[in-house]
Structure 1
Amino acid sequence: MNDLENPLYSKVAALLEQARKQVASIVNLTMVHTYFEIGKMIVEEEQQGELRAAYGKKVLKELSFRLKERFGKGFSEQNLRNMRQFFLVYQDRADSIRQKPSSELQSFNPQLVKKQQKPSGKSSAFQLGWSHYLVLMRIENPQERHFYEIESAQTNWSEPQLKRQYHSSLYERLALSRDKDAVLKLAQQGHTVEKPQDILKNPLTLDFLGLGEKISYSETDLEQGIIFKLQEFLLELGKGFLFEARQKRFTFDNEHFFVDLVFYNRLLQCYVLIDLKIEKLTHQDLGQMQMYVNYYDRYERQEFEKPTIGILLCKKKNNNLVELTLPKNANIYATEYSLYLPKKELLQQKLNEWVEELEEENN
């Protein structure tokens, strides 16, 4: 008998699965808060010893030995140092943490992480698992660290996904596609999608396609790689994207046209058309995308939907050409892609220079 033939079994199984997830969430949150308190105790003990390095090492060594003897592995000196570092990085949240019985801890709620200034006593100061915080607490820039914490909670990133997004410099790439106010908002609220420009990243990193190892590749290779790695591509595109079709054909005036990739963004409620270009971007490419967007707006878009967005994904974009070719209100954008992970240091330097220039202009 399958699940459809036994609705009672299906309901009970679903309830048990939900209970398992809630228990796992409570256990993870309890562990994170406990490690924070352990880190706090270690720091306070070190301060009583006047922060002497030799004293600190001796304390951790003895503490590790006795904890492992009673509670088993998991309390190595390195792990205790991680707990100490965890407290030092997030010690501004100490006032918001109140020891509670595990039954009172709230289940995972991504929205609560937005209220990081002074979380209420009713909410958890931490919303992610310990493995996530092992990654986050090593990010030196507080704004960048806060951004990745928010995104991990809201988007439910796994630890490998968090690492990949950090090493692909997601924060810097999003920031370089925005104005100064939007960069501040990015650090405070994460990646919000409210207007077409919010979905842009510069560059879009497609290292997972494996094409960087090839001496040469075609637009078909690029498209095929994206389809083959569609889950990773959707993660790179960002929030709200749904895949509809590749090489989507439409006919106008007895002539066939093909859009490389068609997506729908449920947050913006609009179609997003993507054309892939491995050569130099031309005004003909922009004109073609303008025609694609016009067709979708006039013949595919429903009344409740927003205007169609067109994106030219190219190896090298030319902002002056885009500005000269398209009208100011065109919903069409060119963005670069990279087949390699960008060098984080270079992007950070570029972002810092860009912010400094904006501050000089505003002064």
Structure 2
Amino acid sequence: MTPTPPDYQHLLTAVKQRVREAQYRALQQVNQQQIQLYWDLGQLIAERQQEHGWGKGVVENLASDLQKEFAGMSGFSVQNLWYMRQFYLEYSTNEILQPVVGEISWAKHLLIMGKCKDPQERLFYILQTRNNNWTKAVVAQQLKAQAYQKTLNAQHNFADTLASAQLPAATLALKDEYTFGLLALTPEHSEYELEQALLGNVRRFLIEMGGDFTFIGNQYRLELEGQEYFIDLLLFYRELQCLVAVELKITEFQPEYAGKMNFYLSLLNERVKKPHEQPSIGIIICQSKQRTVVEFALRDVNKPIGVATYTLTDTLPAELRPFFPSNDELVRRLDARGRRPANPGGRNALKLLNCKCGAVG
């Protein structure tokens, strides 16, 4: 047997990466060609209807003939042909939507087109799907959760604390309300229990946060003048290349939360942020808030901070179940790794879980 060269693993890793990149580019090209085909067919049908008064019967005949001619291809049903017509008519006359029609798959376009009528809302979901590589199931979940409306209503001081070039991406990174599912928590849950429930399924948590985040750690330790401080969750926002500190509060928002977060961001920028990264952003997630109180609390704060609320659900949509472990499987994994704290009720146990994780989801 030929001995393995010392650098073989590096070569293998590089080759695998190249193959995956080529596969992804090929899939993108196939998707773009399919969207272009459906666009052209929709245009032909719309124009013939306008010029020659095509009716329902002609489209039905067209579908039947196409299915016979291209027996190995799907997508030529009567309903899909009508969708192509609708797609062309609604997107071809819109200057903001037409340039991005080839960015996502047809199935995702149908979901967005069926649920959203406002062009700006459609653009939001198309760009978020493209930027975060959302699957069809995730797109459906985000539509159901009204991610667009929650982003529009989000409260923050980004306009006063961030450069104009950073503002659009930062705004998209914050929702007014987050829905944390799969959390078996009682109404009287503690902040520790909420944090651990989110950590139990980091992938779903990051999807709810927006998808372009990576997880750095929980109870992230900072030190100043011999005193220790702990940030509940520390993330990295890839779009802006910045750290994001997340504080979890099971109470109504209090003005002092903003001051504490401002302090954390100053420390992160001074002690943790790398030279090439943008200034850190803070997100405070509370059980409830008074919008006027939040507005006044953020008015004179000089660091970028957003304030949101959260709701809990314990039901996972059927289409998402294959992507997430069951509670029993999660317990089994944690037991196998020896990461379950000996005293789940003790706040100090969090320090034992101050783990550093790579990119997830």
Same fold (TM over 0.5): yes
Asked if the contact 1:223–1:276 (Cα under 8 Å) also holds between the matched residues in 2, the reply is yes
Higher RCO (CA < 8 A, seq sep 6+): 2
Q: Distance in 2 between matches of 1:290 and 1:8?
A: 45
The Cα offsets for residues 94-136 of structure 1, whole Å up to 9 and x where unpaired, read as: xxxxxxxxxxxxxxxxxxxxx85886xxxx8623221122123
- The alpha-carbon deviation at position 288 of structure 1 amounts to 3.7
Gaps of 5+ in 1: 94-114, 183-191, 342-363
Asked if the contact 1:194–1:267 (Cα under 8 Å) also holds between the matched residues in 2, the reply is no
The Cα offsets for residues 186-237 of structure 1, whole Å up to 9 and x where unpaired, read as: xxxxxx84489626634232233435x7444221221112212222322333
Asked if the contact 1:206–1:233 (Cα under 8 Å) also holds between the matched residues in 2, the reply is no
Asked if the contact 2:286–2:309 (Cα under 8 Å) also holds between the matched residues in 1, the reply is yes
Q: Distance in 1 between matches of 2:250 and 2:124?
A: 32
Question: 1:187 — aligned with what?
Answer: none
Q: 1:286 to 1:30 in 2, by over 3 A?
A: closer
What is the aligned residue count? 300
- The alpha-carbon deviation at position 278 of structure 1 amounts to 0.9
Question: 1:225 — aligned with what?
Answer: 197
Gaps of 5+ in 2: 160-164, 315-361
The Cα offsets for residues 7-31 of structure 1, whole Å up to 9 and x where unpaired, read as: 7766665554444333332222222
Question: What is the one-letter code of the residue matched to 1:273?
Answer: A
- Equivalent of residue 272 in structure 1, options 230, 244, 249: 244
- Equivalent of residue 123 in structure 2, options 125, 146, 153: 146
- The alpha-carbon deviation at position 36 of structure 1 amounts to 1.7
Question: 2:171 — aligned with what?
Answer: 198
Q: RMSD of the alignment, in Å?
A: 3.7
The Cα offsets for residues 136-175 of structure 1, whole Å up to 9 and x where unpaired, read as: 3222112211222233233333222222222222222222
Asked if the contact 2:232–2:246 (Cα under 8 Å) also holds between the matched residues in 1, the reply is yes
- Equivalent of residue 109 in structure 2, options 117, 133, 157: 133
- The alpha-carbon deviation at position 252 of structure 1 amounts to 4.2
Higher normalized helix content (fraction of residues)? 1
Question: What is the one-letter code of the residue matched to 2:26?
Answer: V
1:188-337 correspondence to structure 2 within 5 Å: 193-194=166-167, 198=171, 201-211=174-184, 214-238=186-210, 241-301=213-273, 306-322=278-294, 328-331=300-303, 332-337=305-310
Q: 1:173 to 1:326 in 2, by over 3 A?
A: closer
1:39-58 correspondence to structure 2 within 5 Å: 39-48=42-51, 50=53, 56-58=55-57
Question: 2:58 — aligned with what?
Answer: 59
Q: Percent identity?
A: 28
Question: 1:165 — aligned with what?
Answer: 142
If the length of structure 2 is used for normalisation, what is the TM-score? Answer: 0.68
SS at match of 2:289: coil
SS at match of 1:206: strand
